[in-house]
Amino acid sequence: GQQVMQIPQYQHVQEGEDFTTYCNSSTTLSNIQWYKQRPGGHPVFLIQLVKSGEVKKQKRLTFQFGEAKKNSSLHITATQTTDVGTYFCAGPFPTGTASKLTFGTGTRLQVTL
C-alpha cells in the first residue's frame, strides 16, 4: 500500500534557528497537504500543493512539492516558540482519490529560547 514517510521524527532547535521537515511518498501523488498539530491539540490544515515543482510561502513557512511529485518539504525560517508542534504531510489515497488521505508519520518540532 501507499506509504508516506517523514524525516526527521523529532527536531529540537533554539528560537531563531531554521527548521526543515521532509516528506517522501512511495507513489506519485496528485497533490500533497500539510497539517500542524499543537501539543494536546488536533491537526489543522496549513496548505495544499498541486503542481510539480510548486513552491508556496506563508510568512516564515515555505512549502515545496518535488518535480516528480513524490516528495515535499516544509521549511520554517527563524523559528519561534509558537511553531512548536508536530507537522504532518498527507497525500491522497490511493493516488487521485482526493477524499481519502494517507498521513505521514510526522515531525515533532521543539523550540526553546
Partner 1 sequence: NAGVTQTPKFQVLKTGQSMTLQCAQDMNHNSMYWYRQDPGMGLRLIYYSASEGTTDKGEVPNGYNVSRLNKREFSLRLESAAPSQTSVYFCASTRGYEQYFGPGTRLTVT
The count of residues in the chain is 113
Q: Which stretch binds partner 1 (CB under 8 A): 38-46, 54-62, 63-71, 77-85?
A: 38-46
The nearest distance, CB 27 to partner 1, in angstroms, is: 15
33 binds partner 1 (CB under 8 A): yes
Verify binding: residue 27, partner 1, rule CB under 8 A: no
Q: Is the peptide bond before 43 cis (omega within 30 degrees of 0)?
A: no
Find cell 516558540 and name the residue: 81
Check residue 43 for interaction with partner 1 (CB under 8 A): yes
Q: Does residue number 21 form part of the binding site for partner 1 (CB under 8 A)?
A: no
Interface with partner 1: number of residues (CB under 8 A): 23
* Residues in Cβ contact with 1 at an 8 Å cutoff, skipping those fewer than 6 apart: none
50/72 Cα distance (integer angstroms): 11
Residue 1 DSSP class: -
**62-91 mask for partner 1 (x: CB under 8 A)?**
--------------------------x-x-
